[in-house]
């Protein structure tokens, strides 16, 4: 395993110390390893996680698909892409109520992604006979 020295702002280190003291992470090293793997998994879907107990830690932190989508943003989140596919599928089939339910259960009405999905759904409504 390689060792790397990184400098962080004092307030960031204080926050990490608090998470370790509260038992959220076993050690600062565990936090840094998990954080690096988590970010790599966000930006590269093919990244193979090697951190011990990664899935267990992620589960304990209760990081949802929606949290992932927020972290990635509307232009790159796979959850958002999946949402577009779902809304398109419902729209093509004329099942507008299911599309609305999907949007409403996954997004706040003021979210940028929500607005985009509602606009997409609107195009299918206006194209219907």
pLDDT one digit per residue (tens) for the chain, 129 residues: 788 788 888 998 999 999 999 998 999 988 998 888 888 887 777 888 888 888 888 888 877 766 666 666 555 556 788 888 889 999 999 999 999 999 998 888 888 889 999 999 999 888 666
Structure tokens, 91: 């729209």
Are 83 and 98 in contact, with CB atoms under 8 Å apart? Answer: no
Specify the pLDDT at position 73: 59
Q: Minimal CA–CA distance to 85: which of 69, 102, 73, 71?
A: 102
Specify the pLDDT at position 68: 63
Are 102 and 85 in contact, with CB atoms under 8 Å apart? Answer: no
Burial of 100 (0-12, 13-18, 19+ CB in 10 A): middle
């Amino acid at each position: 395993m390689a060792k790397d020295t990184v400098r962080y702002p004092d307030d960031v280190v204080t926050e990490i110390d608090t998470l370790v003291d509260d038992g959220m992470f076993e050690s600062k090293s565990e936090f840094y390893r998990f954080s690096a793997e988590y970010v790599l998994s966000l930006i590269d879907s093919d990244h193979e996680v090697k951190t011990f107990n990664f899935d267990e830690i992620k589960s304990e932190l209760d990081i949802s698909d929606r949290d992932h989508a927020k972290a990635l943003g509307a232009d790159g989140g796979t959850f958002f892409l999946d949402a577009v596919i779902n809304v398109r599928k419902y729209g093509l089939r004329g099942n507008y109520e299911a599309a609305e339910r999907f949007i409403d259960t996954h997004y706040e009405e003021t979210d940028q992604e929500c607005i985009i999905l509602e606009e997409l759904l609107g195009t299918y409504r206006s194209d219907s006979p």
